[in-house]
Amino acid sequence: MPTYHEVISTGPPILGPGRHAGIRLAWAAGSVLLLTACGVSADGNEARALTGDDIRAVLPDREALPGWQEFGEPLVLEDRAQYKHRACPTEGFRGCEGSRSFGLAQFRSGDDRKTLVGYRITAYRDEQTAATAYDVLWKGHYRRAGGPDARKLDVGKPGDERNARLGTAGSGGPGALVQVRVGTALVVVDVSGIRGGDLGASLVKDLTGVISERAQQALNGEDPAGRLDE
């Protein structure tokens, strides 16, 4: 059964939830317009595959997550042999078929440094391939995240498909795992806290919305600008 450390696979032990009261999303007002049907781009054509440069722009930075601290440098890879064990933690790396590039970024919450969020994004050649990979990865791995007592988590309606679980992280504290498909891209968001702490569903929803919107903006040919507002 996968732990949240296995989901992230890099970085230090998770420390725990931080103060996030009052965080809201600056992108919320326009999100309905941006989350278009089934990965269709702004000009009505089928969504294109994201490049490595696109993924680098989609991954949140300090400007996108004000008050959060980057943990290490963002990672972007375009060689499947280098990223498949991170992007597709399934037997035989199933779910990586048709993938083109991969990105990873991690952040700690502000001054308290008690919440860790990990972002993963994998680009696929087309929407059908991404949709197939979504099912394979969820059924083959991520649906077991958080342990046997994990429950479904409502994160709204980011992207074209989404699933989320709230349970226990590898550190013994609370953890949430979200998988989202945005057109030709799959996004995994992992949020973890300290043992005995709490992890608000609203924070997980907001952190998921940031990267989902940034991915949609890139697919629409726009500069990714989704962010959290303090």
Average pLDDT over residues 7-13: 38
Task: Take residue 181 and report the two structure tokens written for it.
Answer: 């498909």
Q: What is the mean pLDDT of the chain?
A: 82
Instruction: Note the maximum CA span of the chain.
Output: 48
Q: Look-up: residue for tokens 């949609």?
A: 216
pLDDT at 37 over 90: no
CA dihedral for 21, 15, 66, 88, sign (positive or negative): negative
Given a contact cutoff of 8 angstroms between Cβ atoms, the answer to whether 120 and 187 are in contact is yes
Say what the pLDDT of residue 45 is: 56
**Taking the model in full, what pTM does it have?**
0.80
pLDDT at site 111: 67
Looking at residue 25, its pLDDT comes to 36
* Per-residue model confidence (pLDDT) at position 200: 86
Q: pLDDT per residue over 179-203, tens digit each?
A: 999 999 999 999 998 776 778 899 9
Collapsing DSSP states into helix, strand and coil, what is residue 19?
A: coil
Q: How far is CA 133 from CA 14, 88, 99, 119, 230, in A?
A: 28, 9, 9, 17, 35
What is the structure's pLDDT at 230? 64
Output the DSSP codes for 62-104: TTTSTT-EE-S--EEE--HHHHHHHH--SGGGTT-TTEEEEEE
Q: What does the pLDDT read at residue 224?
A: 97
List pLDDT tens digits, range 53-103.
999 999 999 999 999 999 889 999 999 999 999 999 999 999 999 999 999
Q: Which is higher by pLDDT, 221 or 5?
A: 221
